[in-house]
Amino acid sequence: MTTGSHIYLLLWKNWTLRKRQKLRFFVEITWPLVLFFGLVWLREANPLYRQHECHFPNKAMPSAGILPWIQGMFCNVNNPCFRYPTRGESPGVVSNYNGSM
């Protein structure tokens, strides 16, 4: 048998099984549609909102030293979000905590 006849027989068998089990066929068709329309409804009910670009204050890694790391953890506990770039976001700046005490 050729590949085409194998595929034809599998499709015929699949269609015959679906034809005999009407409830299962109905559920297989309607369940994905219900899920799709549920997602569409959720998107319409909760529209997207515009969020500005978020810049977080930099935090030192433990490799920068214990004191800058602890200062970064305690000074930025609430993790604020700023609209504009914060101090220390430029490349090469490792520690801007020198004047924080």
Cα separation, 33 vs 19, whole angstroms = 20
Residues 60 and 23 in one domain: no
Q: What is the mean pLDDT of each run of 10 residues along the chain (101 residues)?
A: 89 88 89 96 87 79 84 80 76 60 52
Q: Both ends of the chain: CA-CA distance in Å?
A: 83
Angle between helix 22-45 and 3-20 (nearest 10):
90
Q: What is the dihedral of CA 98, 62, 94, 59, to 10 degrees?
A: -80
Identify the three-state secondary structure at position 65. Answer: coil
Residues 45 and 63 in one domain: no
Identify whether 33 is part of a domain.
Answer: yes
Token pair for 19: 């034809």
Question: Could you list the residue range(s) of the whole structural domain that residue 35 is in?
Answer: 1-49
Token pair for 100: 């924080």
Report the predicted TM-score, pTM, of the whole model to 2 decimal places.
Answer: 0.41
